Each structure stands twice: as C-alpha cells, then as structure tokens.
Amino acid sequence: MTPEWGKITAAEILSPIRGRLVSGRSDLPISGINTDSRRVGACELFWALKGENYDGHDFARDALKAGASGAVVSGTYLLHPETLLGQEGEKDSAAIIEVDDTLQSLGDLAHWWRRQYDTPVVGITGSVGKTTAKEMTAHILEQGGRILKSKGNFNNLIGLPLTLLQMGPGMTRAIVELGMNHPGEIARLTEISNPDIGLITNVAKVHLEGLGTIEDVGKAKWELVENMSPGNRVIINGDDSFLINAARTLGGNVMTFGMGSSNDVRAEEVRHTTTGGIAFTLLYRGDAWPVRLGVPGSHNVLNGLAAASVGFAFGLSPDHVVRGLEMFRGMKGRFETVFFPGGIALVDDTYNANPASLKAALNVVASMVQGGRRLIVALGDMKELGAESIPEHRAAGRRVARAGASCFVALGDYAPEMIRGAVEAGLPLKRAFKVCSRNEMVERLAHIVKEGDLIFIKGSRMMALEEVVQRLKQDVWVG
C-alpha cells in the first residue's frame, strides 16, 4: 500500500530514516513534512535542519506549540531535551524522533517514499538551462496526465526531498531538478530520486569556486549517469564535447539532442518571429514538425530540444510534444520582458548568471536592438567562479560592448573588471558606470534611460537584482 499524508504515522517512517522514538505517540497521523516552524501546519512533522546561518532545532519547540504532530531532531540536540519539550513537558503527545543526521534522514525518507510509487521520474541537471528545460518538459508531460515537478529552486538536498515527498496517487510522471556546487551532491540527489530518465543540458563554467575546472564541472554533472540504475535512459546534449566523450561507454541507451546533424532530436530553420519568440523545425526519426516558441533566443531552442527528447523517450505523440513546447511562455526573472511608457522595454534576467547564460542572453538582446533603439546593460557579479572570476568578468564586459550597449552599469566586487573589459572592447569610459548599491543602480538607470531604450538586467542570485527591477516598476516608471 502506497503511503499518503494524512494516513501515514510516525511509526511507519521510523525504519526508513533509521529513527528512534524518544517520547510521545507514534500512532498519530502525519499530514506532511515541514522544515519552517513559522509555517508548520496542524499535524505536520517538523524536521529540524541545521544550516550555515540557522539551526532548526532552536525552533522545534515553537513548531510543537503551533500544532506540529512531532519533530525529527538530531541525537546531540537531545542532550538538553528541556529546550524542546519545555519545563513542564508540554505537548506530551508529540512524537519526538531522534536520528543521527536530520539532512541525511530527510533524503532517506524521500528515497523510500519515491520507491513506494511506480511513477517514472525524470532527473534534470546541467550548467545552464536546466530550470527552463524542466518547465518545458513539464508542459509536454502534462499533456499525458497529472505530474509532479520541482518548484522554483527546489533542486538541492532539502528542496529535492521535499518535492519527492509530495508524490501521491494518480501522478503519471515526476520531474525533478538536480543542482549542485560541490562534488558528490548530484550523486546523492540521484540516489534519493532514482530517476528513470536522466537529462544533462550541458557543461559550462559554473560553480568553479567549489569544483575547480570545467572538467570537474563535467564530472560532477556526470554523477547523475553514474548513479542511475543500469539500463535507464540517458539524454544528453550531443553538441557538448564533454558529454559525448563521457557517453561513449554507455552503449545504445543514450538519446542526444542539439543542432548538429548527428543528434537524435535536432532543429533546423531557426528564425526569430515578429512576436518576439523563435521558430524552428523539430526533427526526430526522419519526421519533422514546425514549432513556434513564445520565448526568444537560440538557447531556448536547445532547451526545447531537451524537453522534446524526454517526451519522445516516454513515447508521447509529436502533437503532444509540439503543443507542450508552444504552451511555454517563459518564467519570472528569466528573460522576462516588461514594457513602460515611452516605448521603454526592460528585460528582467535577474534569476541567476554565469558566463554561458550571460553570453546567450546578450546575443538575444543584441538582436532586439533595431531602428536606432539604445541598449542599456546593468550587470551584477557572477558568483562561484573561483580563480576564473577576474578573467570571466572582464570577458563579460567585452561581451557587453560587443553587444552594442550604449551604456553599461555594473555592481559588485568585480564591477571594475567588467567595466575594464567593456572599455577595452570599445565602450567609451564616460558611458560605463560603477555603482555601489542596488539603490544606486536604480538611480543611475532612471537618470540615463530615454524613450525607446531597451534595458537588460542580469546578475547572480546573491546580487538580488530583482529588487532593482521591482523599484523601477513601482517607483520610477509607473505605467
């Protein structure tokens, strides 16, 4: 019998997580798992996780007071049980479960939960495009029934288990995103999710601070393939030399996508549309179908090919695949275009940044600047590049200038390097501005923008440049 929240009890999860009931009742139904004491619901089980800047154990007692049916805590925390149970032993019925490591046990529970269902799982990783590919894949697979997919950035050792723990009866397929910034993370995420299909979008210069070289990035992504069950389907970018070389030992259970003619799933006749999207001809097994994406950029053609490959691997009809792709309309903070009075357009690409995604995005915005329209670029630092930080930020500045930027605004520790690169590539110094805060970036953009301009904003997640976009929307160009 498959587990369901609202029916399963604490007693039933003790074995999968190798837990020990310290106190309370283990027969009470659990309505779900929650790691946030501020949002814990009635009868949910509070999972106390320890991060760099917080310790969930400090809030376990608050969760119990809010109605949690129990708490999963580490054994070391129970050396002082009064901090959890209170001086009077309040909430005596709450199930207090001890484990060696709460993060490990959360993954163990998710792995067990996933194995109780026969729902096929797709695991998607890659340096660039994995979230967009995941969303496109979801649109395709939704044509065949109810699905489960990772939300937002739920792609790590916390978010992935919480996603899998939402698996329930009636779900036809699940799609999970696997992220990482250190070796071994993809291996553990693969172990937890046990994907039937593994997709790698590409290998590029990301997370170099925690990995070292692009070869190390590739090895980390390949952990997905190395830890999948033998015989399960692997889908890779056939234009990526690292992935093709790594796949030579896998035999015939590999499907490739890309622009090259040797790929199983590929595109021809790529062209921009008058509505701001991109169109192409999708080819697979000798047949061809026209596709019109509602988002711009040749990089999104590759994302679409990756998603189509998953659809074909599941045996979905071409009509389902094409319909799913054409239903995709982009994502918040990922090349999202906002229009303002005076013909001003703002391209919000603030969700994240790395050298590969920045290069692709600048190619697109360069193609959008026509008829005398000026391009204004505002960038924040690209994080986790390690020893490559200085040369990559300098290269970013050169790309800004070569994209035809009229003005450039840079924020972050590497803003001087970006400006130096832009000036080296021909952008006049008087039109390159270093700012020291997001507020200053807003003020500078508001000062230099003119009617008809196109503004492009991008930076790593830690730079929080979505705040700049929000300020411009609310305070500067209201309309």
Q: What is the DSSP string of 342-407?
A: GGEEEEEETT---HHHHHHHHHHHHHH--TT--EEEEEEPPPS-GGGHHHHHHHHHHHHHHTT-SE
As given in the structure block, the two tokens for residue 105 are 């046990």
Tokens representing residue 150 in the block: 């990772």
- Residue 22 CA to residue 218 CA, distance in Å, equals 44
Sheet strands side by side (includes 197-200): 147-149, 173-177, 121-125, 197-200, 233-237, 254-258, 265-272, 278-284, 287-293
Return the H-helix or E-strand segment holding 19: none
Cα 474 from chain centroid (whole Å): 27
| pLDDT for position 317 | 95
The reply to whether CATH 3.90.190.20 applies to domain 336-476 is yes
CATH of domain 10-99: 3.40.1390.10
Residue 187's contacts (CB-CB under 8 Å, 6 or more residues apart) are 223, 226, 227
Question: Is there a contact between 133 and 175 (Cβ–Cβ < 8 Å)?
Answer: no
Burial of 190 (0-12, 13-18, 19+ CB in 10 A): buried
Can you give the residue ranges of every domain in the chain?
10-99, 117-327, 336-476
CA 203 centroid distance within chain: 15
pTM: 0.86
H or E element at residue 248: none
Q: pLDDT digit string (tens) for 264-315?
A: 999 999 998 877 789 999 999 999 999 999 988 889 999 999 999 999 999 9
Q: The domain at 117-327 falls in which architecture?
A: 3-Layer(aba) Sandwich (3.40)
What is the pLDDT, as a whole number, of residue 393?
A: 97
Contact 361, 439 (CB under 8 A): no
H-state helical runs in 116-164: 130-141, 159-164
Q: What whole-number percentage of the chain has pLDDT above 90? A: 73
Residue 297: per-residue pLDDT:
85
The tens place of each residue's pLDDT in the chain, 479 residues long, gives 789 999 999 999 999 999 999 988 899 899 999 999 999 998 999 999 998 888 999 899 899 989 999 999 998 777 555 555 554 444 468 899 999 999 999 999 999 999 999 999 999 999 989 999 999 999 999 988 899 999 877 899 999 999 999 999 999 999 999 998 889 999 999 999 999 999 999 998 777 777 778 898 899 999 999 999 998 999 999 999 999 999 998 877 899 999 999 999 999 999 988 777 899 999 999 999 999 999 888 899 999 999 999 999 999 999 999 999 999 988 888 888 888 888 899 999 999 999 999 999 999 999 888 777 899 999 999 998 999 999 999 999 999 999 999 999 999 999 999 999 999 999 999 999 999 999 999 999 999 999 999 999 999 999 999 999 999 988 765 44
Cα–Cα distance between 49 and 65 in angstroms, integer? 18
Predicted local confidence at residue 334, as pLDDT: 86
CB 9 within 8 A of CB 30: yes
- Asked if the domains at 10-99 and 336-476 fall in one CATH topology, the answer is no
Scanning 227-293, the segments in alpha helix (DSSP H) are 241-246
